[in-house]
Amino acid sequence: MCGIVGYMGFRPAAAVVLNGLQRLEYRGYDSAGLALFEDGKLELYKTQGKVADLRQLSSFDTTTQTIGIGHTRWATHGVPSDSNAHPHKSNSGELLLIHNGIIENYDALKQLLISKGYVFHSDTDTEVLVNLIEDVQKSHNYKLGKAVQVALGQVIGAYAITVLDIKKPNELVVAKLGSPLAIGVGENEYFIASDASPFVEFTKQAIYLKDHQMAILRREKPIVLRSLKDDNKADYYLQELSLDLEQIEKGGYDHFMLKEIYEQAHAIKDTYRGRLLGEESLIKMAGIEEHLEKFLNAKRIIIVACGTSWHAGLVAEYILEDLVRIPVEVEYASEFKYRNPIITERDVVIAISQSGETADTLAAINLAKEHGAFVFGVCNVVGSTISRATHAGAYTHAGPEIGVASTKAFTTQITVLTLMALRLAQAKGSISKEEFKSIIAELELMPQKVEVALLQNKTTLEIAKRYQTATNCLYLGRGVNFPVALEGALKLKEISYIHAEGYPAAEMKHGPIALIDENMPVIVVAINKGHYDKVVSNIQEIKSRKGKIIAVVTEGDQTVKALADHVIEIPETLECLSPLLTTIPLQLLSYHMAVILNKNVDQPRNLAKSVTVE
Ligand code: AGP
């Protein structure tokens, strides 16, 4: 997820673009760039780091150019660096482009362009796109708009782009598919941005491009919208904005955490995009392909992580052992580092970390490497310390996670780990082709099933209101949903400060059942898969002790519904994929509890988003 900003009008563009990028840094902040253009004179500034670092590159407040495009990056292809920062130039230097999104078939397009003599100075998919547009423009002598339309017809992926052609000094072309793009329409000035926060102070008139739409903006001329599919003119709706700046940065949500809970369908799809090729029944993960033998010959897999990432590791243990039949151990990184563990060269260590900066996890990685183990990272931040410390890895494409309480990182980590398990199981032949196909088919349905699970938001709000005075909660789950119970309990603890514990459902009778009384809410994950009947028995044990039962059930479940005080329904799915859905109501429940209790949801007390000390 990146942030794009463009301006064409009468004001000095630098200030508009730089301030706009600053407001979009919640979308990504590992590198930034800006191009200023006037009277055929182009200035291009790019740097690794934040917008504040970009501001240091020049005395922008004295510039006068009235056209500018800028970008704040969240790396997906190519580590954060000056050369990978946007805007990207075409080989001729005549076209400049900024891009938010992912070009899935960029490698094939890059090879084609290289065969035509194009050279590349970055590792990004974006530089491929700007040269593809140039190639189309020059091959057919097209105007910029037509070249953009034809070039995007060859692209698979998601994009929100702005293109500038120095041969056409008073024109900007924008196009959108899958990533957001808003156009601010002022008096003799146009603004372009990933959301309205960069221009809402200048104009409340906005056009939100739809997918497969492009627009040609010409100075002091009416906007022209076209369809990318057939180049026909398209109508547009000029919207009067009502959101304030802070609401816009949060996408209209009250908190980043809620926004990120709702981003999960998109984030899961972005994470398997380009990796899960359902039609060919293929999973393609470069980091796995290059080290397949390491994994297949591993004596065991050790997973090291902390907090929510550790819970994702526990989910992976169930899935990896079940599908790949390789022994898996999950370790708290902090414990692993100091208990003098036995590690050999035949161990594969998987390190999971959203931030890629967690000191405990990094320490565990270094220990594993000292003992000759192969270390594979699953991180969300491209170019983070952990992603560079591991021998190979796979990124989650969750986009920046601003809320301290991890949500979309958890579900995208599970997505990556499930893809890994499926690829390894396929290579090992430990699952049938039919089972492989059924799981990947169901995985492709998960984004829409996550959207259905999110419809239970109001139900979770009502339950949160009912139990806002609780001082203790018990979370129970079985099998692959036991780690979900742990995760649900952690969410509640860390943002509402209510004590909560997660337990394997069957373990309750070995002690925690003594806690159950009419004041104890017990959240039970009770989907109609796995040892469902045993979970129903656990629920009956709780009920007989007057515990208050909140059950996460498969939609249509009547058995648990007859026993529980409250049910939250989620769509039917495979047991191994169910954590992607059962987690959603637990995230929403903790969120609403914290809001009702007036806690600081995005920055809970005592916590940091990234724990960079041991
Ligand atoms: C999760 O909600 C917490 N914020 C915390 O437990 C977090 O998961 C843990 O600190 C690990 O962080 P990482 O994934 O960035 O390594």
**pLDDT per residue over 396-408, tens digit each?**
999 889 899 999 9
The answer, yes or no, to whether residue 146 has pLDDT greater than 80, is yes
Cβ atoms within 10 Å of 211's Cβ, excluding its own:
12
Place of tokens 């794009």: 4
pLDDT bucket at 78, cuts 50 / 70 / 90: confident
Q: How far is 590 from 296, CA to CA, in rounded Å?
A: 39
**Residue 535 is part of which domain span?**
453-609
Q: Is the same domain home to 357 and 418?
A: yes
Q: What pLDDT is attached to residue 528?
A: 96
CATH code, 463: 3.40.50.10490
In a domain, 442, yes or no: no
Tell me: pLDDT of 609 over 80. no
Return the pLDDT at 534.
95
For residue 56, is pLDDT > 90? yes
Mean pLDDT of 525-531: 96
**Quick one: 183 and 302 in the same domain?**
no
**296 and 227 inside one domain:** no
What residues have CB less than 8 Å from 563, skipping those under 6 apart?
536, 539, 540, 543, 549, 551
| Residues designated as active site | 2, 609
Report pLDDT for 611: 74
Same domain, 419 and 497: no
Tell me the average pLDDT across 511-531: 94
Answer whether residue 228 shows pLDDT above 90: yes
Residue 447 within any structural domain of the chain: no
pLDDT at position 74, please? Answer: 85
**What integer pLDDT is reported at residue 536 of this predicted model?**
96
Q: Ligand 1 pocket: which of 260, 309, 607 to mutate (most atoms <8 Å of CB)?
A: 309
What average pLDDT score do residues 339-343 get?
96
Whether the CB of 353 sits within 6 Å of ligand 1: yes
Q: Give every CB contact of residue 91 below 8 A, 6+ residues apart in sequence.
A: 118, 119, 131, 134
CATH code for the domain of 203: 3.60.20.10
Q: Which of 260, 303, 358 to mutate to test the pocket of ligand 1 (most atoms within 8 A of CB)?
A: 358
Return the percentage of the chain with pLDDT > 70, whole number: 100
Name the amino acid, one letter, at 581: L
The rounded Å distance from CA 410 to ligand 1 centre is: 9
Confidence of residue 245 (pLDDT cuts 50, 70, 90): confident
| Shared-domain flag, residues 497 and 591 | yes
| Average pLDDT score over residue span 575-592 | 98
Judge if the beta carbon of residue 611 lies within 6 A of ligand 1: yes
pLDDT at 608 over 80: no
Give the pLDDT score at 458: 98
| Number of domains the chain contains | 3
Q: Does ligand 1 come within 6 angstroms of the Cβ of 315?
A: no
481 lines ligand 1 (CB under 6 A): no
Before 604, cis peptide (omega within 30)?
no
pLDDT at 356 over 80: yes
If one compares 252 and 164, the residue with the highest pLDDT of the two is 164
Single residue among 197, 222, 247 that ends a domain in this structure: 247
351 CB less than 6 Å from ligand 1?
no
CB distance 453 to 570 below 8 Å:
yes
Say if 439 falls within a structural domain.
no
d(CA 265, CA 261): 9
Q: What is the pLDDT of residue 607?
A: 79
**pLDDT at 210 > cutoff 80:** yes
CA 48 vs CA 77, 94, 159: distances in Å: 14, 23, 22
Same domain, 164 and 273: no
Tokens at 498, concatenated: 């209510």
Query: Which position has the token pair 């992976």?
Result: 316
- For the chain, what is the radius of gyration of the CA atoms? 25
Domain for residue 495, yes or no?
yes
Protein residue with its CA nearest to atom 9 in ligand 1: 307
pLDDT band (50, 70, 90) for residue 252: confident
Tell me which of 75 and 67 has the higher pLDDT: 67
At position 475, the amino acid (one-letter code) is Y
| End-of-domain residue from the set 193, 215, 247 | 247
Between CA 414 and CA 250 the distance in angstroms is 25
Q: How many CB atoms lie within 10 A of CB 608?
A: 11
Which residue, of 212, 247, 282, is where some domain finishes? 247
Mean pLDDT of 392-421: 95
Amino acid at residue number 226: R
Q: Say yes or no: 256 and 241 in one domain.
A: no
**Ligand 1 binding pocket includes 355 (Cβ within 6 Å):** yes
User: What pLDDT was estimated at residue 267?
Assistant: 96
345 alpha carbon – ligand 1 mean position (Å): 28
| pLDDT of amino acid 42 | 94
Q: What is the pTM of this model?
A: 0.80
Measured from the CB, is residue 125 less than 6 Å from ligand 1? no
Q: Which of 255, 261, 306 to mutate to test the pocket of ligand 1 (most atoms within 8 A of CB)?
A: 306
How confident is the model over 300-323, as a mean pLDDT? 98
Q: At residue 383, does pLDDT exceed 80?
A: no
CA separation (Å) from 111 to 22, 98, 458?
Answer: 35, 21, 50
Task: Specify whether 399 is located in the same domain as 280.
Answer: yes
Residue at 273 is within a domain = yes
Q: What is the pLDDT, as a whole number, of residue 110?
A: 97
- The pLDDT of residue 177 is above 90: yes
Write the residue with the smallest CA distance to atom 6 of ligand 1: 307
Q: What is the overall mean pLDDT for the chain?
A: 95
Q: Please give the number of the atom of ligand 1 that sits closest to the Cα of 307.
A: 6
Would you state the torsion angle of the CA atoms of residues 374, 379, 381, 384, taken in this order, to the nearest 10 degrees?
-30
Contact 302, 310 (CB under 8 A): no
| pLDDT over threshold 90, residue 140 | yes
Q: Ligand 1 atom closest to Cα of 306?
A: 11
Sheet holding 566-570, edge to edge: 499-504, 472-477, 521-526, 548-554, 566-570
With a 6 Å cutoff on the Cβ, whether 407 touches ligand 1 is no
- Across the range 27-54, mean pLDDT stands at 93
pLDDT band at 172 (very low <50, low <70, confident <90, very high): very high
What mean pLDDT is predicted for residues 277-283? 91
CB < 8 Å & 24+ apart, contacts of 288-297: 288/392, 288/394, 288/420, 288/423, 288/424, 290/392, 291/374, 291/376, 291/391, 291/392, 292/424, 292/427, 294/348, 294/374, 295/326, 295/348, 295/424, 295/427, 296/424, 296/427, 296/428, 297/346
Mean pLDDT for 544-566 is 96
| Closest residue by Cα to residue 301 from 287, 318, 285 | 318
Decide if 440 is inside a domain: no
